[in-house]
Amino acid sequence: MLQSDNLNTLAARVAELVLSSQRVVVFTGAGVSTESGLPDFRSPGGIWDRFEPDDFTYQRFVSRPETRRLWWQLIYEGSLSQEVKPNPAHHAIAELDRLGKLDSVITQNIDNLHQAAGVPDEKVFELHGNLRWSVCLDCGRRYPFEQVKTRLDEGHHAPCCEDCAGILKPGIVFFGEMLPDGVFEAAVKRAEGADLIMVIGSTLIVYPAAEIPARACRSGARLAIINLSPTPMDFEASVLVRAKAGETMAKVMELIRERL
């Protein structure tokens, strides 16, 4: 854990980068969501310590009823279906938008918390989808998660489409599934137009999402990383902060407010 004086110094450097930038793109990962109480998939004690990842591929979801039941059990019984609220990191990023500094948020998270904190939906690029919707794989009908949760409450272990009885799938990207149409390309375009990219709460090991900060840097953006563990891009960062996202971003915004 960083000493408070060291964190203050690093936060001041991040604040200076933000203040001297015109187009800030924020790239977020699980380290932001965990501070709101959502489980991490890959960290020790995370979801993949309790479930086998190979059981959760798109191909198995489509072909095996037992896999569909496992997925819906994971969502229903775990924190993924619980009401969670944005934490200080989400609120800080939304404040960047209100100050006119935020170009966009590119996120690996599926929880809708950036929008809940106040970032406009059109500025949030969700690389791995969003849990707030489910979709029928046969007819394409979309269902809000609250409607699906009602079906789960009633004991439907693998709910199907009410119109065509087709397979109902959470609106998130599974292993072996393509990213949502156009989202990756649009996110890359925003990143390559940034003059600062801030990586917050991501280890940058999940591809193709992890390509995006690298492409921003190759296009001339400066890089700030706020993450508890190392990333492959640490050596490229103008500022590297090994601390929690919420604590750091709250301090960064405090310093920015003082300057403004």
Among all residues, which ones are annotated catalytic? 128
What stretch of H or E contains 58? Answer: helix 58-63
User: In angstroms, rounded to a whole number, what is the distance separating the alpha carbons of residues 123 and 44?
Assistant: 32
What stretch of H or E contains 134? Answer: strand 129-136
How many CB atoms within 10 Å of residue 1? 10
